[in-house]
């Protein structure tokens, strides 16, 4: 694959072809629109980011920056939100270290406090509960700092701190617990962004949306959000088809649960047969 696929992009069809090179089937960019439709472009970028398509995000940002002169003024602020360096840093667990001056020196336990300040300063934040006393248990203090930012809903920051802890020889049960919790929250939030985009996409059907919900549920069955989304899909279809007639009014909730259960069982059986074959 070429290292700079974005170099020859001149219209929306070129953008779509580039997405397909990376295995991404666009949700909002249509071939019917020859000129780049920037609203669709930034919606696509948001979904790619949520889906973890970091390399494609990088290429899309290169396109936007090359065409900055053609970019409408009202989209300039959106472009500023997506710094290519930030996306690249998130694409690798530890790449933020390589952006630090003399980064190898940070892997010294005596420099843990400096590393913490450096990580937080990337988001214009400062340590809140970390005790900088040289006699303090830095692993425990690192854990407490992670817990604080977890309560502030700064889950991507918690993940960065958690991933960095092992490189700094910091080990504590609370670090692993916070990292696992925030990782799950971020993953679920991103998945909901993707599902919402599929629902709103003019290039996807309701059937595509339903299949995506079922797949998300199968990978994370403890998340009730996916079941709630599936219930809404089923309820909508029941209203449209009037399959159960007058019973639908009196036993709506029971019928919805029945249909949802049928879909879940059917999906699992189909997945099981495909796996067996």
Secondary structure letter of residue 246 according to DSSP: T
Prediction pTM value:
0.84
Answer whether residue 194 is part of any domain.
no
Same-domain pairing of 122 and 172: yes
Same-domain pairing of 10 and 87: yes
Please give the Cα distance from 252 to 176 (Å, whole number): 43
- Domain boundary pick from 41, 67, 91: 91
Same-domain pairing of 72 and 17: yes
Answer whether residue 198 is part of any domain.
no
- Domain boundary pick from 46, 72, 91: 91
Q: How far is CA 156 from CA 45, 81, 198, 206, 260, in A?
A: 18, 16, 24, 31, 33
Answer whether residue 258 is part of any domain.
yes
From the number of C-beta atoms within 10 Å of its C-beta (0-12, 13-18, 19+), residue 253 rates as exposed
- Domain boundary pick from 52, 76, 91: 91
Answer whether residue 197 is part of any domain.
no
**Which residue do the tokens 């290429």 mark?**
59
Answer whether residue 256 is part of any domain.
yes
Answer whether residue 247 is part of any domain.
yes
Answer whether residue 267 is part of any domain.
yes
Answer whether residue 169 is part of any domain.
yes
Q: Which domain holds residue 35?
A: 5-91
Same-domain pairing of 182 and 213: no
- The tens-digit pLDDT sequence of the chain (277 residues) is 445 666 688 899 999 999 999 999 999 999 998 899 999 999 999 999 999 999 999 999 999 888 876 777 777 777 777 654 454 344 444 445 555 555 544 455 557 888 899 899 888 899 999 999 888 999 999 999 999 999 999 999 999 999 999 888 899 999 999 999 999 999 999 999 999 999 999 999 999 999 999 999 999 999 999 999 999 999 998 888 877 776 767 788 899 999 999 999 999 999 888 777 6
Into how many domains does the chain fold?
Answer: 3
């Amino acid at each position: 694959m070429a290292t700079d696929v974005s170099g020859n992009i001149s219209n929306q069809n070129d953008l779509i072809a580039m997405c397909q090179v990376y295995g991404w089937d666009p949700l909002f960019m249509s071939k019917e629109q020859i000129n780049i439709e920037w609203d669709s472009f930034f919606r696509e970028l948001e979904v790619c980011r949520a889906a973890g398509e970091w390399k494609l995000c990088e290429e899309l940002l290169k396109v936007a920056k090359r065409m900055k002169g053609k970019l409408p003024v009202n989209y300039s602020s959106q472009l500023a939100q997506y710094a290519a360096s930030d996306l690249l840093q998130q694409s690798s667990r530890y790449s933020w270290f390589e952006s630090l001056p003399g980064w190898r020196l940070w892997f010294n336990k005596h420099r843990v406090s400096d590393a913490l300040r450096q990580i937080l300063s990337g988001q214009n934040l400062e340590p809140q509960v970390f005790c900088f006393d040289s006699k303090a248990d830095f692993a425990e203090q690192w854990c407490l700092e992670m817990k604080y930012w977890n309560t502030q809903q700064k889950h991507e920051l918690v993940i960065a701190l958690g991933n960095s802890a092992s490189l700094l020889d910091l080990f504590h049960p609370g670090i692993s617990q916070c990292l696992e919790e925030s990782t799950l929250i971020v993953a679920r939030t991103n998945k909901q962004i993707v599902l919402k985009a599929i629902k709103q996409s003019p290039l996807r059907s309701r059937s595509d949306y339903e299949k995506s919900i079922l797949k998300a549920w199968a990978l994370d069955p403890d998340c009730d959000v996916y079941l709630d989304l599936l219930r809404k899909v089923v309820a909508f279809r029941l209203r449209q088809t009037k399959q159960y007639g007058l019973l639908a009014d009196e036993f709506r909730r029971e019928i919805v649960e029945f249909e949802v259960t049928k879909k879940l069982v059917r999906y699992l059986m189909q997945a099981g047969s495909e796996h067996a074959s």
